[in-house]
Amino acid sequence: MKPVVISGTGLYRPPQVITNLELVEAYNAYADRRNAERAGLIAAGQAQPLVHSSVEFIEKASGIRQRHVVDKAGVLDPARMRPRIAPRPDSELSLMAEFAVAAARPALEAAGKQGRDIDAVLCAASNMQRAYPALACEIQHELGAGGYAFDMNVACSSATFAIEQAVNAVKSGSARCVLVVDPEITSAHLEWRDRDCHFIFGDVCTAIVVEAAETATAPERWRVLGTRLATQYSNHIRNNAGFLNRCEDTDPDARDKTFMQEGRKVFKEVVPMAAAHIEGHLQALGLEPRQVRRYWLHQANLGMNQLIIKRLVGGEVGDDLAPVILGTYANTASAGSIIAFHEHHADLGAGDLGVICSFGAGYSVGSVVVERS
């Protein structure tokens, strides 16, 4: 099996930003409107009033301070509370493909590649804009890439699961150079009207170039020492939106058609699962957690990441060992660990080890162990 490297990464973030204060003001205005509409039911004890959110609540619960979004005005409109996205004709580049291409171009530049050098494109994200044709095929066409392309979805683990597919394709010889893109327009499937989760997500796209070490020319290369994936069924993170909804005659705006989670159960169950997964993966490679110079973890919750690292290495956890990008980007689903890697790897030296790890709905956990060349 030929050695495989990550030779380039790219990041695209939409320019519009929502701060916690702006989000709280919009949510509280919505809550007041909704409480006024149901005043009679609330007075009769037949409904519970919506409770205000606060900046303090959000930051204590998550560590998030702001998020990038594709449309700010629609999210902050108390009468709408979701982004406003204009439909595009089929002849125009779709929104997710636009995000992906914007992230792919700097990744290709970092790797010293052009579109024609790519012979596989994997579009991996927690939701896809459409069923078909595949977004990956559209991205492949726009970049002038060859070979094959396909979409895949493993929720917040989509990026690491796709990296394993890319690594295996290069190892087996079915591809020489693979582009993985993770366009996460999470604002479109977040329930902004739910106090428990209205602050969680932000929009972004990442891109990763995976290729054979023998063809890599980039000045920065990360040899992939191993990948490992695991899944365990759980109902505690769920989204019931899908093509069968119209046949079920269900309300397309019903609460279950957007992101839902039982946060406390997820925290309790995923932390030990992710820590054990990383430790087991390292041991299989003959490594120990303390040998790892940096962990780039899924960016869902500050407390969750800190506890996972404490389980692995003990003691206090700092940004140098496990960088956090939640404050700036919020939870960006599968793109989070890749953003952390993209923004916090340049200071590492030859021989330094790192772990990219994501975890999310499914449950799913994916890890990629890398070494700076």
By annotation, the residues acting in catalysis are 156
Pick from 200, 211, 54, 201: which is nearest to 117 by CA?
211
Could you tell me the end-to-end alpha-carbon distance of the chain, in angstroms, rounded to an integer?
18
Neighbours of 35 (CB within 10 A): 17
Give me the sign of the Cα torsion angle 207, 210, 214, 215: negative
Q: Give backbone dihedrals phi and psi of 226, rounded to 5 degrees, phi first.
A: 180, 155
CB distance 97 to 142 below 8 Å: yes
